[in-house]
Chain A
């Protein structure tokens, strides 16, 4: 491992890491809201909504993220009405295409987590709310939502970590994320071992921080399960 070399190019790696974190954070943020809408729609009593939500989840969970990125980036350039519309301003840019692909992808996976969590809420908690005259919205806000978030945490923390690692695919459409930056440096210096190891460590540290954040969150939200504070 050539520390000196890695240190010399460390600012480039940090730039790459920053793009990775930016893409992952933005797509997770937007994807989380989409996931709730989609997860709720998948449980709706209206056939059409359910069908739409389930198809969306099936498509984005059923195909590789890399293909989704390619389709949005290269595919859109071949559809003439997109090229002629205002959408082209967005879809001609690799950054936006990557962001859209990552967002739609995480939204589909997270929607499945949301759906599973809502299904696992004890029915009695919902009935108790109804029996005290809570309106649908109040019931959602005060009972369903907080219980869903608690049930989601373990699966969702996995999803966040997976997204961090999956984001390495955006290099395929010219974006200089952490992985692409390393590959670029390797093609110039041939120090593949050093740079791959260096970014592995950066991914690891980031993953560690994410896990830590979720552990803190669990500590707060799972107070009701801890027995020693009774």
Chain B
């Protein structure tokens, strides 16, 4: 396996107003890694994930994706901003994101959602993209819904469609922010099964999740974020069976293990 990391976040800091949400967070993943980010509400997990694809611009720190560092330049008043918008777009296209609330485009059918970015961002031929999209929808088990609109689907189906939409970009890394948190309990399983399968296929994923059982089973690396710093990080067995810090112990004791 390739030894160079595919994604690196180096010493990321981010402040909202006076609220220092990330206080120097670093993470790196190689191809095939599945990193699960856990931590209590408000610890900065989403913010950190969103810094990686620059939906939030880190005040300080660097991002590396697939061979290139994101170019930053100092802002006149403030911290830093991306120097090259095209580079940001290029990097985002390699990091498909799956959101807690699915964020499908409501005015497009499921199939249109899936083919949108490959056609218009990656500029792939439509015919090819449609075939790939149908195969992906089949894989996540909703090919029958290809021509339905998102509002006609259950939450679990919508999230699986969003996963198919992300996969259609053939991303280097998938970023998933609590992909099952908005779902009714009985729909969580169908989405986790899809993610588990992706992990087995060797997809590189960084997943924020409150599903501890899943976080433990699927991860190659677990990161416990606490008040804007990584309090503990390591192999799932180590984190879940013998957490080194008191904070992590408390956190694991407080969450439910459905």
Contacts and interface: CB of A to CB of B under 8 A. Distances in A.
Nearest to B95: A131
B116 interface: yes
B149 A223 contact: yes
Interface stretch (A81-89, A139-147, A170-178): A139-147
A47 to B, nearest CB: 15
B130 to A, nearest CB: 17
B204 to A, nearest CB: 16
Given A132-B121, A133-B93, A127 B151 contact: no
Nearest to B147: A229
A134 B120 contact: yes
A142 B116 contact: yes
Contact of A224 (B95, B121, B150): B150
A230 interface: yes
Interface residues on B, range: 20 to 34
B169 A132 contact: yes
A227 B150 CA distance: 11
A229 B94 CA distance: 35
Interface string A104-130: 000000000000000000101101111
B99 A127 contact: yes
A138 B122 CA distance: 12
A133 B89 contact: yes
A131 B121 CA distance: 11
B121 A133 contact: yes
Interface string A209-230: 0000000000001011101011
B152 interface: yes
Contacts, number: 80
B96 A132 contact: yes
Interface stretch (B100-108, B195-203, B225-233): B100-108
A224 B149 contact: yes
Interface string B72-115: 00000000000001100111111111010111111111000000
A230 B153 CA distance: 8
Contacts of A138: 120-121
A131 B107 contact: no
Contacts of A132: 92-93, 96-97, 116-117, 121, 169
Interface string A126-170: 011111111110100011001100100000000000000000000
Contact of B106 (A129, A142, A147): A147
A224 B106 CA distance: 7
B179 to A, nearest CB: 14
Chain A interface SS verdict (over half): helix
A229 B152 contact: yes
Nearest to B101: A124
Contacts of A135: 85-86, 89
A146 to B, nearest CB: 5
Contacts of A225: 149, 151
B106 A122 contact: yes
A146 B107 contact: yes
Contacts of B105: 125, 128-129, 143, 147
A132 B148 CA distance: 22
Interface of A: 122, 124-125, 127-136, 138, 142-143, 146-147, 150, 221, 223-225, 227, 229-230
Interface of B: 53, 55, 85-86, 89-97, 99, 101-109, 116-117, 120-121, 148-153, 169
17 contacts: A122-B106, A124-B102, A125-B103, A125-B105, A130-B55, A132-B121, A133-B91, A134-B89, A134-B121, A138-B120, A142-B116, A223-B149, A224-B107, A224-B108, A224-B149, A224-B150, A224-B151
Given A127-B103, A133-B93, 7 more contacts: A130-B92, A131-B96, A133-B91, A134-B117, A147-B105, A224-B150, A230-B148
Question: Which 10 A/B pairs are nearest by Cβ-Cβ distance?
Answer: A133-B93, A230-B152, A124-B103, A224-B149, A132-B117, A133-B92, A128-B103, A131-B97, A133-B89, A133-B121
